[in-house]
């Protein structure tokens, strides 16, 4: 009977050990759900180590597929109690299959990061990429960096970390695609300018000559042919009455032409 009870006890502790996160000072990330890449686990662990060393506040992350109906906040609190430096540690728990998450904060760290502030950071930086986009690395990286920045301000300590987590906070949709500006050939630019300037000068010169010729034509007045034509037209209109033709009276075409010549001289119409 004692052997059976001993075996049962050993089996119970084995199950309990497998259920507990494999977290330590050197390994602050326990990704049993397998949602993180190897590179991300390494970068996240490095940042968590900086938080421990510079700020004195350890940071840990645990992922699980399911908890079998267990309350996630209760699980997070119980898991926190089993970690080294549990009074100072901040623990983030993700249960992927149940789409839930929780933060547990050690008693000594409450004065620097309250549960209310942690929830606000989760709502602002974690919730959307975690639930809507299933971007688990982006969600965790965004929350971790914001929590780190907040703690730096509260403690007045700078970690001076060129954070390797920053690239994980961005997605393809976040990248701005700027239009490509094609370089111009300076020779083509100036050649085009000078070509246009030369053409403009030629057009202006041609316009000036046309205007001068038109002005000169206006100044020259009527030609001899134009005066003769005017006289002949006047003769046709006014000098060919039937009565005058029968009696042999009136001026002939030459008379009208010379009359137009004299009038043009008087009024200055002649060229």
pLDDT for 254 equals 59
**Which of the residues in the chain have pLDDT under 50?**
1-3, 5-19, 175-181, 189-190, 193, 214, 218-219, 242-243, 246
pLDDT for 233 equals 65
Number of domains in the chain: 2
Q: Pick from 143, 177, 195: which residue ends a domain?
A: 195
pLDDT for 251 equals 61
pLDDT for 154 equals 96
217 assigned to some structural domain:
no
pLDDT for 164 equals 85
pLDDT for 234 equals 61
DSSP-assigned beta bridge partners for residue 93: 62, 102
Q: For residue 146, what is the domain's CATH number?
A: 3.10.310.50
Residues 84 and 166 reside in one and the same domain: yes
pLDDT for 226 equals 65
Q: Pick from 174, 195, 216: which residue ends a domain?
A: 195
14 assigned to some structural domain:
no
Q: Sort 232 into a burial class: Cβ within 10 Å, 0-12 / 13-18 / 19+.
A: middle
83 assigned to some structural domain:
yes
pLDDT for 16 equals 43
Residues 164 and 246 reside in one and the same domain: no
The boundaries of the domain holding residue 49 are 20-195
CB-CB neighbours of 87 under 10 Å: 13
111 assigned to some structural domain:
yes
Residues 167 and 250 reside in one and the same domain: no
pLDDT for 19 equals 47
Residues 236 and 178 reside in one and the same domain: no
pTM: 0.58
Pull the structure tokens for residue 233. Answer: 């037209």
pLDDT for 160 equals 80
């Amino acid at each position: 009977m004692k052997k059976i009870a001993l075996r049962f006890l050993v089996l119970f502790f084995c199950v309990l050990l497998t259920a507990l996160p494999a977290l330590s000072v050197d390994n602050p990330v326990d990704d049993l759900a397998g949602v993180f890449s190897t590179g991300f686990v390494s970068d996240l662990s490095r940042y968590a180590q900086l938080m421990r060393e510079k700020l004195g506040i350890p940071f840990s992350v645990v992922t699980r597929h399911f908890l079998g109906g267990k309350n996630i906040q209760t699980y997070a609190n119980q898991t926190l109690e089993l970690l080294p430096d549990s009074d100072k540690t901040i623990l983030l728990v993700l249960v992927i299959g149940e789409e839930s998450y929780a933060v547990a904060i050690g008693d000594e760290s409450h004065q620097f990061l309250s549960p209310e502030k942690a929830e606000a950071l989760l709502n602002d930086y974690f919730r959307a990429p975690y639930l809507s986009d299933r971007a688990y690395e982006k969600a965790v990286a965004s929350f971790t960096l914001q929590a780190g920045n907040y703690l730096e301000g509260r403690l007045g300590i700078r970690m001076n970390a060129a954070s390797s987590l920053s690239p994980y906070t961005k997605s393809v949709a976040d990248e701005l695609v700027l239009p490509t500006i094609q370089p111009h050939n300076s020779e083509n630019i100036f050649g085009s300018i000078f070509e246009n300037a030369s053409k403009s000068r030629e057009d202006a010169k041609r316009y000036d000559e046309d205007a001068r010729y038109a002005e000169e034509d206006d100044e020259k007045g009527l030609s001899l042919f134009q005066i003769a034509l005017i006289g002949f037209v006047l003769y046709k209109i006014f000098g060919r009455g039937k009565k005058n033709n029968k009696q042999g009276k009136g001026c002939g075409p030459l008379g009208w032409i010379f009359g137009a010549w004299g009038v043009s001289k008087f009024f200055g119409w002649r060229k």
